[in-house]
Amino acid sequence: MSQSDLSQPVLCAGQPNRAASLSNCFAASYAGIIAFMAVATEGSFSKAGERLGIGRSSVSRNVQRLERHLRTRLFLRTTRTTSLTREGERFFEHCNIGVSHIAGAVNDMLDLRSGPPRGLLRVSSAIGFGRNVVAPLLLQFSQAYPEISVELLLNDKPVDFAGDRIDVAFQDGHLKDSSIIAKQLIPMQTVVCASTAYAKTRGLPSTLDELARHDCINMTCSAGRVVEWEFMVEGQIRKFLPTSKLAFNDAYLVRQAVLEGRGIAQMPAHQVRDCIRRGELVMALTQHASKGRGHYICYLCRDHLPARVRVFVDYMTTQIRALELNDAYRSI
């Protein structure tokens, strides 16, 4: 075979489609290439068989099939020695490059799984929880793991792990998707609150029935549906949908409207805890506080997690649980 022939891709006879030919030929010659590389490295068919865990005759058959496929003799064999032909040396050089790339790819995957945490991490979070809780912790995380890059995506829509290439997601509320691994970080406590100015002029509801006499501010979800208020009544969750003149699809705007004295609202405790500490907001109906929902950290699979995902999940779980985000309800 001439040098120009060796520089061209090898095609199987009778295969009109070039891409299909390459695929089929590789599948047919893969065992032969492995055997060839072992013989060329070890210097004998017997040692190659020991290395591969197969018999010498199997190694020889695989190499012979490869030679017939290439229509080229790769080894010079005598009873005492086995050496590469010039074509065999050329083929070994090319194959060795490919093997090195494959070995590098394997080692890279093993490194991602068990080596030092590194690489890009795409994280999704509900907007309010992401702003108030996740984002402030990212600087500390980046300092602890400088080789991990984090991209935080804030969105109240359901997470599409595959479509958006999300590694980890923070989600609120009740989770129903059994395909998602969800670890509850903390209960998701909700707070009915009003500004001090509103409380002075309108008072605060002391029973659920009194909510109808107040200006309620509602939150809408991404689908446009109004989010129901939840309360605990005699050990059971009771849902309530108040009428309102104001509704927003952003928790920050709901909180801002409450701070301005425009009404009362039920919001996650992490959204208002600092305002309550500063005396800007006061709580109501604490005897019916619901703790049925939760804040979750989610990912798709427990097995074979890259190191960057494992350390992020562990770090955020520890840090968020230590924040005492629900301490607005400590007086309950």
Fold match between domain 119-187+294-329 and domain 190-290: yes
pTM summary value: 0.58
For the 3-114 domain, the top CATH level (class) is mainly alpha
Instruction: Name the nearest CA neighbour of 154 among 133, 128, 135, 127.
Output: 127
**What are the residue boundaries of the structural domains of the chain, listed by start?**
3-114, 119-187+294-329, 190-290
What is the reported pLDDT for 93?
A: 87
The pairing of strands 293-299 and 265-268 is unpaired
For the 190-290 domain, the top CATH level (class) is alpha beta
Architecture of domain 119-187+294-329: 3-Layer(aba) Sandwich (3.40)
SS3 call for 18: helix
What is the reported pLDDT for 251?
A: 84
Neighbours of 253 (CB within 10 A): 14
Burial 8-27 (b: 16+ CB within 10 A, else e): eeeeeeeeeeeeebeeebee
Under-50 pLDDT residues of the chain = 1-16, 22, 328-332
pLDDT, tens only, 231-277: 888 878 888 888 888 999 888 899 999 999 999 999 888 888 889 88
